[in-house]
Structure 1
Amino acid sequence: MGDTTILNYCSYVQWVPGSDVVVAQNRNSLCIWYNIDAPERVTMFPLKGDIVGLERNDGKTEVIVSEGVNTVPYTLDEGLIEFGTAIDDGDYHRAAAFLETLEMSTETEAMWKTLSRLALEARQLHIAERCFAALGNMAKARFLHETNVIADQAAQEHGGDGTDHYLVRARLAMLDKNYKLAEMIFLEQNAPEEAMDMYQELHMWDECIVVAKAKGHPMLEKLRRGYYQWLLDTQQEEKAGEVQEGQGDYLAAISLYLRAGLPAKAARLAMSRDELLTNGDVIDRISSALIRGELYEQAGDLLEKVGNTRKALECYGKGNAFLKAVELARLAFPAEVVKLEEAWGDHLVQQKQLDAAINHYIEARCSIKALEAALGARQWKKAIYILDLQDRETAAKYYLKIAQHYAALQEYQVRHRHSHQCSACPWAVLSVVLSWQVAEELYIKGGQTKDAIDMYTQAGLWEQAHKVRQQPEPL
């Protein structure tokens, strides 16, 4: 266990002899830990001087404090010290007796908890019962009282303290929430009913049924019915459906899943069983529930599986499941692929996925939409490729827009021309000149030769401007 600092600025620290109580001074405070197992529980008093010693005589413990010319004794709570001493000695009866004389406080509560833990570990169950009663935990106190009655009876019949009796050991495992250990103890004694009773009281029906099944218990079917009824009574339709599915009653399971508002779970089950897929009524109920819940893609999967391709395609469309919709349309409704590709592109644009939309618009032969998406995504080369396939009238304004993008790079070139020496400059200039050549070509294609001339003139590239001026207008 690692070291833990529990007090800073400490000028004095000492164990009270024969106990686990610690006394320390922190600046102008006397600090006392009556239970060092709970370091956060500290009792503090203001001091006017410094601790000079600790005296313990005739059942009385005093901290001696020097206050100038006088020494003043501070008496510690002997009951709390005696508790620590009793704990150290393993005398839990004495520790409990001391605690019962004290008022309940944060310190004494921590001590009752410590004693309850130690008493349980030592199987001193009457002490543990007193601890839980003192702490106000009546459920544990009552449970231990019943356990003590069993232990006392076992002690009278067989000697000892009775804590070795299997029922006592099992109940202590239950108190510790170690139900598997309790089950093991019961089964070692060939007492499956007691393990089953334990699980039933805890509403741990699955574990109860596992025990009954493993032992071939005649109550197995009755238990299953009881569990199922309990699930229905407590509105646990999903769990009830899983029970029915596990027992092979798939129709009942589907009804319960639908009642629980879980049509997707019902659909998963239906698609896994051929006999359900051929049951039109079941498929109608599940698909209607999926559509009502706007689970369109799952509805499409189910309807496609049973061959209702038209309705499946409709559901895929409503659910924006375009990949499945297009794949189904290619097989069943080829004429509708183009319309679906356009809808797919529209959906991607709405989702701000312009780059992804371009190819779907191209597949749908929606050139202008593809072009707008390419421009929006700043995919200039792709936009030029699309433009080159359009008629001149449609393309003109778009050529101009893209040309302006490439022409705008002149500012970059001018900045570099006047900047400090830069090894990258020649490459930057070359890149910009190539961009201008693209811009020039686009201006000319768009019927805006004057803009190409102006671009070169503004950059002082008179030779290129003159070359453009000499070119004939495009047809």
Structure 2
Amino acid sequence: MLTTTLLGFCSFVQWVPGSDVVVAQNRNNLCVWYSIDSPESATMFPIKGDVVDLERLEGKTNVIVSEGVNTVSYALDEGLIEFGTAIDDGDYDRATAFLETLEMSPETEAMWKTLSKLALEAQQLHIAERCFAALGDVSTVRFLHQTNQIADKVEKEMGGDGTAHYQVQARVATLDKNFKLAERCYMEQNAVDEAIEMYQELHMWDDSISVAEANGHPELENLRSGYLSWLTDTAQDEKAGEVKEREGDFSAAVSLYLRAGLPAKAARLALSRPELTNNTDTINRIAASLIKADFHERAGDLYEQIRNHQRALECYVKGGAFRKAVELSRAAFPSEVVRLEEAWGDHLVQQKHMDAAINHFIEAGCSLKAIEAAIAARQWKKAMHILELQDDSATAKFYLKIAQYYASVHEYEVNL
């Protein structure tokens, strides 16, 4: 059960007898909720003393406030209280009559909303239409007016309760956004066309087509075509691509994904369908879009799939996917492995991953870079180990750096 805090620092709270009105005190304010279903719509006015009681006599309700030696009465709006009483009694006609005598205010607006909800639940659709008119909800008023016309026509021609008719029940369910209930109302009467039309009016094409498929509707293909045209006209290329993918038209789906600026989605589809993977033109189009969108690694995957190893390698390097580049080179371009290991190390240095760069420089035979990376990573022992294997005079400068470090930590016994 959902709970809402109405008031803090509350010294008095009480229901007005026989209604859903709540009276409470918050420090120097008297707070009245004429519609407790709208806790944000409280009427507040200042008082000087403390609320001690409520009195309801001869059709009037007073809040008794003690101001020291004096007692003061504050009269509540009896019309608003009577609305609550009418609601409790289920007399929505009387509640409507009360509200129509009041000026529009935050309190009365909250009451119209409460009454509209209750009237819909009770299938009192004419009252609900009046409520939404008072609230200025033109579209709902129009919808309910059409619904009431259906109900009135059914009562006139067939007798009985017009609101029980399946069309009325379906429209009320639609208004409540319970579309599956509305569909069930239509389908129980075998009104397939009406269910399809409902979903089309709501632009819920997937549900419309599902109903048509389930019932073998003769217009199924026209519905699909209309849906695709609508998606295209409204620039929903991604959704149109998904429709084409479900239908098995994968080439069209790829084109739509590319037009929607989704080359990665097109690549995912292409890699999953052999007929697309074997189509060089399609792969090249997708790869070009991936490169334009800076998805170089994904483009490399595509090129490798069609055995265009040179382009795949270029894309992997440009995208910083050196692991894939090295693995590909070991199989296709062995002479490039050393160069790529150095480039991998340079890339890691740019990313400030000095520790990870060391081994790649060693694999590439770039000892000076490996030592610099080890020192930058403060891997002093590793730097010394690499130095011990060198006979290049250019490495002498590194001994000084390492010596200065060990001196700073008072490890004077280290032999360099």
TM-score of the two chains, using structure 2 as the length reference: 0.93
In the aligned structure 2, how far is the partner of 1:54 from the partner of 1:395? 95
Whether the aligned pair in 1 keeps the contact of 2:277 and 2:306 (CA below 8 Å) is yes
Q: Cα 1:219–1:102, aligned 2, differ >3 Å: closer, same or farther?
A: same
Query: 1:300-449, aligned counterparts within 5 Å?
Result: 300-391=300-391, 393-410=393-410, 435-438=411-414, 441-442=415-416
State the AA in 2 paired with 1:377.
A
Q: Distance in 1 between matches of 2:314 and 2:165?
A: 69
Residues 392 and 309 (structure 1), Cα distance of their counterparts in 2 relative to 1, 3 Å cut: closer
Return the alpha-carbon distance in structure 2 between the equivalents of residues 392 and 287 of structure 1.
46
| Alpha-carbon distance between aligned partners in 2 of 1:49 and 1:276, rounded to the nearest angstrom | 82
Alignment correspondent of 1:420: none
Give 3-state SS (helix, strand or coil) of 1:56's partner.
Answer: strand
Residue 169 of structure 2 corresponds to residue 184 of structure 1: no
1:96 is aligned to 2:106: no
Which residue of structure 2 lines up, in the alignment, with residue 173 of structure 1? 173
Question: Residue in 2 aligned with 1:265?
Answer: 265
Number of the residue aligned with 2:282: 282
**Secondary structure at 1:310's aligned position in 2?**
helix
Classify 1:234/1:39 alpha carbon distance in 2 versus 1 (closer, same or farther; 3 Å): closer
1:212 alignment partner in structure 2: 212
Aligned twin of 1:249: 249
> Where does the alignment leave 5 or more consecutive residues of structure 2 unmatched?
none
Greater mean deviation of Cα atoms: 57-66 or 347-356: 57-66
Aligned-partner Cα distance in 1 for 2:173–2:36: 28
Pairwise CA distance, 1:120 = 1.3
Give distance in 1, aligned partners of 2:164 and 2:4. 38
1:60 corresponds to: 60
Of 33-42 and 43-52, the range deviating more from structure 2: 43-52
1:109 aligned residue: 109
Q: SS at the partner of 1:154?
A: helix
Q: Rate the CA distance shift 1:27–1:338 in 2: closer, same or farther, 3 A.
A: closer
Q: Which amino acid aligns with 1:299?
A: A
Deviations 1:68-110 (A, max 9, x none): 7765543321110110110111111100110010001011011
Residue of structure 2 equivalent to 1:85: 85
Q: Which amino acid aligns with 2:63?
A: V
Give me the whole-angstrom Cα distance separating, in 1, the residues matched to 2:413 and 2:52: 94
Instruction: Say which is worse superposed, 85-94 or 262-271, in terms of deviation.
Output: 262-271
SS of the aligned residue for 1:355 comes to helix
Aligned equivalent of 2:238 = 238
How many Å separate the matches in 2 of 1:145 and 1:303?
A: 61
Find the aligned partners of 1:15 and 1:305 in 2 and give their Cα distance.
75
State how far apart, in whole Å, the 1-side matches of 2:401 and 2:146 are: 89
| Structure 1 letter corresponding to 2:394 | T
Query: How far is the alpha carbon of 1:328 from its aligned partner?
Result: 0.5
Distance 1:65-1:255 versus aligned 2 partners, 3 A rule: closer
- 1:200 alignment partner in structure 2: 200
2:31 partner amino acid: C
Write the letter of the residue equivalent to 1:81. Answer: I
Q: CA deviation at 1:21?
A: 2.1
Deviations 1:267-295 (A, max 9, x none): 22222222223323222222222222222
Q: Distance in 2 between matches of 1:264 and 1:254?
A: 10
SS in structure 1 at match of 2:103: coil
Q: Deviations over 1:158-191 (max 9, x none)?
A: 4443222211221111111111221122222212
Once residues 316 and 301 of structure 1 are traced to their aligned partners in structure 2, the CA distance between those partners, rounded to angstroms, is: 8
Unpaired runs of 5+ in structure 1?
A: 411-434, 443-475
Q: Figure out how many residues of one structure are paired with residues of the other and give that number.
A: 416
* Cα 1:405/1:148, change in 2 over 3 Å: same
> Matched residue of 1:378: which SS?
coil
CA contact (8 A) 2:280 2:306 kept: no
Letter of the structure 1 residue corresponding to residue 219 of structure 2: M
1:351-383 CA deviation, whole Å, 9 max, x = no partner?
000000001101110000001000000111111
Distance in 2 (CA, whole Å) between partners of 1:347 and 1:14 is: 72
Distance in 2 between residues matched to 1:303 and 1:49, nearest whole Å: 83
Contact 2:199 2:208 in 1 (8 A): yes
Structure 1 residues 238 and 11 mapped into 2: Cα distance closer, same or farther (>3 Å)? closer
Contact 2:342 2:361 (8 Å CA) reproduced: yes
How far does residue 62 in structure 1 lie from its aligned partner after superposition? 3.2
Aligned equivalents of 1:100 and 1:138: distance in 2? Answer: 18
* The 10-residue stretch of structure 1 (47-56 or 139-148) with the greater mean CA deviation from structure 2: 47-56
Cα distance between partner residues in 2 of 1:10 and 1:324 = 68
Query: 1:136 and 2:144 equivalent?
Result: no
Deviations 1:306-338 (A, max 9, x none): 111111111111111101110010001000000
Q: Which residue of 2 aligns with 1:161?
A: 161
Give 3-state SS (helix, strand or coil) of 2:113's partner. helix
Q: Return the offset for 1:9.
A: 5.0
Q: Does 1:223 align with 2:199?
A: no
How large is the Cα RMSD of the aligned pairs? 2.2
SS at match of 2:62: strand
Conserved in 1, the CA contact under 8 Å of 2:86 and 2:92? yes
Amino acid at match of 1:279: N
**CA pair 3-294 structure 1, distance change in 2 beyond 3 A:** closer
- Check 1:304–1:163 CA distance in 2 against 1; reply closer, same or farther (3 A cut): same
* More off after superposition, 242-251 vs 71-80: 71-80
TM superposition shift of 1:58: 3.7
**SS, match of residue 412 in structure 2:** helix
SS of the equivalent of 2:173 reads helix
Deviation at 1:126, TM superposition (A): 1.2
Letter matched to residue 294 of structure 1 = D
